[in-house]
Amino acid sequence: MTLLTKLPSSGRLLLQAAFKRDGRGLLEANIGALPTTILRYAAPRVEEKKFNQFHQVTNWQGQALHPCYLHVMSFPLHLMLMLQKQFPFALLGIVHIANEITQYRPLYATDACVFSCYFRDIKSHSKGIVFSIVTDIKVNGELCWSSASTNLYRSAAYSYTQDNSSEIKKRSTTHDQVQMGFSLQNDSLGQRVRDIKQTWELGTDLGRRYARTSGDYNPIHLSKLSAQLFGFKQAIAHGMWTKSRCISALEQLTPELFTKGFRTHVQFIKPILLPNSVRFSASLSENLALEERRADEEAVNFSVDSEKGDTPHLNGELKAI
């Protein structure tokens, strides 16, 4: 375990990330393993200006910290893990394909958060190799928040379509203009399903605005020109902005879910080109017999698609625990 008293700047880490290359020898020798380093960091008091900026760009209106802001705070630790010499992959081109957050209680700026970050679960994928970075946050020794970010390293040589899958073993080591509508449906089991639809207008500068508050200055998010250098026609929205914006919308629709423990998982499907109009949809299941409701029966399925509904961008679920 490595104990940290201070974090390097995100700018310095991103510069190092731009020059990190694949370690071919490491890939061949240790394809089923990742560094076992655990980074631990006791964060100082959260700066009000920083989390207010994040809350503004993601339209968060809750009293506690946005659940995804803790992911932003852990981002430098993720970079530090992947910048280790023993980490075999180049960072440019790694794709964030899924994210799961478990929050056991709301967290506030006054909480003394202790972060622990480490690798887990490396396995083959149809397009290469996937691996996860886990972050645990404790306050006074109590686990309050945990996340797993799943990333894809693209490589035909190591996809499970090749005859090498046995070598890779799974191991544990913007300003938005909103249009709203909803319908209510009751099923035979006494569950009420409330369908929500919103249209979000995303501006050209969304990627830059989110980068300033998250520290994620990946060029594919910043401008049309910088995105074109990496094969995109236009800048694309950050996947974690999209998830964060969904969580903000859900908090406004079902604030009671966010006063207790919950787990939310999303899959990032197709990128959102900027500027754009997208459609947010949510289906809320509610037990009509409130006195018999169990916490684990409260669930929300949600998605973000193109305005026409023909391009999926994100699918997710949020469920009380």
Q: What is the pLDDT of residues 33-88, one digit of tens each?
A: 799 999 999 998 888 899 999 999 999 999 999 999 999 999 999 999 999 999 99
What is the rounded distance in angstroms from the CA atom of residue 312 to the CA atom of residue 262? 24
Same fold yes or no, 2-167 and 179-320? yes
Q: So what CATH class is 2-167? A: alpha beta
Burial (CB count <10 Å: 0-12, 13-18, 19+), residue 78: buried
Cα gap 110→45, rounded to integer Å: 6
What DSSP letter does each residue of 304-315 carry, written as one string?
EEETTS-SEEEE
The reported pLDDT for the residue numbered 36 is 93
Lowest-confidence segment of 19-23, 173-177, 290-294 by average pLDDT: 173-177
C-alpha to C-alpha distance for 287 and 208, rounded to whole angstroms: 41
CA nearest neighbour of 246 among 300, 192, 293: 300
Compute the distance between CA of residue 217 and CA of residue 223 in angstroms, rounded to an integer: 11
Q: What is the CATH number of domain 179-320?
A: 3.10.129.10
Of 279 and 160, which is predicted with more confidence?
279
pLDDT at 315: 97
Nearest to 160 by CA among 132, 128, 130, 131: 128
Using N-to-C axis directions, what is the helix angle for 206-214 and 69-82, rounded to 10°? 80
Report pLDDT for 191: 58
Tokens matching residue 290:
């409130």
Report, as an integer, the average pLDDT of 244-258.
96
Predicted confidence band at 313 (pLDDT cuts at 50, 70, 90)? very high
Of 33-47, 123-137, 166-180, 293-307, where does mean pLDDT reach its minimum? 166-180
Spans of all domains in the chain? 2-167, 179-320
pLDDT at 184: 42
Range in 5-9, 80-84, 309-313 the model is least confident about: 5-9
Which residue do the tokens 């409130």 mark? 290
